[in-house]
Amino acid sequence: MLYRSLNKESQSVNFETALKNGLAKDGGLFYPEKIKKLDKSFLENLHNYSNIDIAFQVIKQFIGDEINEKDLKVIIKNTIDFDFPLIEIENNIQTLELFHGPTLAFKDVGARFMANCLAYFNKSNNEITTVLVATSGDTGAAVANGFLDVKGTNVVILYPKNMVSDIQERQLTTNKKNIKALKVNGTFDDCQQMVKKAFVDKELNSELNLTSANSINVARWLPQMFYYFFALKQIKANNKKIVFSVPSGNFGNICAGIIAIDLGLPIHHVIASTNSNNTIPRYLKSKIYNPRKTIKTISNAMDVSNPSNFIRIEEIYNDFNLLKNNLSSYSFNDGETISAMKSVFNKSKYILDPHGAIGYLGLKKYLNTNPSFFGVFLETAHPIKFSNHIEKALNIKIKIPNVINKIISKEKVFTEVSSYKDFKDSLLDKYFAH
């Protein structure tokens, strides 16, 4: 498999190079040169396969012959050694829980897959890779956990000050060892912009071997396809058309879902459900792409106004009308989010986190005018991560999982930065000076 730059000014590269470089030399995102549909009999009989076998069939064409079958299956086994249950919420609506991994968020899959692949490629050399990741909450925790003590890696996490929950911040800042945390005086988009700028900074790249662990990296982005296959394996929709609603911030997850559809998975429509950062819902109405200043919300992992992966979605459809016919997008504010959490809890006693609540709202809105569809929304994070908002809204106390209890009393260790210069100086002078 070769990957080309969406900026179209760099040569195509193999999977290992795309993984290690993060972005193409021209600053563009990597995209597969060709995607081959999966065998129809495989797709019709997902229930007969293990999750490991499903994931292997789904991802193998994107790896090519760079990782042998035996080792790739080991990497997959290390990536998805937890459950992905489908839970009924109400008639015709189910949620796919993606928070049963080590950091209680859906991003564990991509982060662990990337870390295991990088470890595989570095096992026979002494190369040190500096992994940069901007996070609005959950990505950084998953990357920190996935890369902790991985040979040949140093990890730098950038997160926005006062825009992640206390538990999320503890997951980002209490790892030590090869994990470093930078608290940025700005928004997630500011963090993301620093990471992107670093990749075209010649001085920085001459000193450090950089890669990104955000969903711009193909090894973080593509494994998210697994979720949709695992869901279809469990769904009994009585031949109804299936729609997925995906809480969307940087649009990596929903983009992976669209790739799954491109592989032949019988999903008939997708919904990008956003919070008040509504760039894409506005774009689909006006055809004008106009990111505004990022708004802070209780669904903070989606506080993104300029989603990096949307360019990949445009590449998939390559036509605005085709895009609009296959992708719906709705936005919801904090008040609507809290009301949805209360409504679902009162009816079913199910506790939604704010991101899942937005996924639920987007699904309900679509089903109101498409009642013949069967809907699935993604629950992307454990409610404990947002316990202050949830407990207040629902008047309950959420039991703290053991994995969180272990970090509650740990010291937060971070460096505050306010500019790209601060960020660059921290890398060169403090963390990885030669």
Residue 403 tokens, joined: 């994995």
- DSSP character for 48? G
Question: Which positions ≥6 away from 73 have C-beta within 8 Å?
Answer: 52, 56
Q: Which of 107, 180, 196, 385 is catalytic?
A: 107
Query: Cα separation of 407 and 47, whole Å?
Result: 38
Return the closest-CA partner of residue 144 out of 111, 120, 166, 168. Answer: 111
Q: In which residue are the tokens 């894409």 written?
A: 280
Query: Cα separation of 102 and 382, whole Å?
Result: 11
- 130, 123 Cβ separation under 8 angstroms: no
SS3 389: helix
Q: In which residue are the tokens 């799954």 written?
A: 260
Amino acid letter for position 185: N
Q: Can you point out the beta strands (E) in 147-296?
A: 153-160, 179-184, 210-212, 242-247, 269-274
Q: How many residues does the chain have?
A: 434
Query: Cα separation of 89 and 364, whole Å?
Result: 12
Query: Cα separation of 434 and 179, whole Å?
Result: 18
Query: Cα separation of 244 and 272, whole Å?
Result: 9
Question: Which positions ≥6 away from 125 have C-beta within 8 Å?
Answer: 152
CA distances from 71 to 56, 60, 310 (A): 11, 11, 32
Residue 5 tokens, joined: 């730059």
Return the closest-CA partner of residue 269 out of 325, 331, 221. Answer: 325
DSSP string, 257-269: HHHHHHTT----E
- Is 107 among the catalytic positions? yes
Greatest CA separation for the chain: 62
Q: Which run of H or of E encompasses 207?
A: helix 202-207
Residues catalogued as catalytic = 107
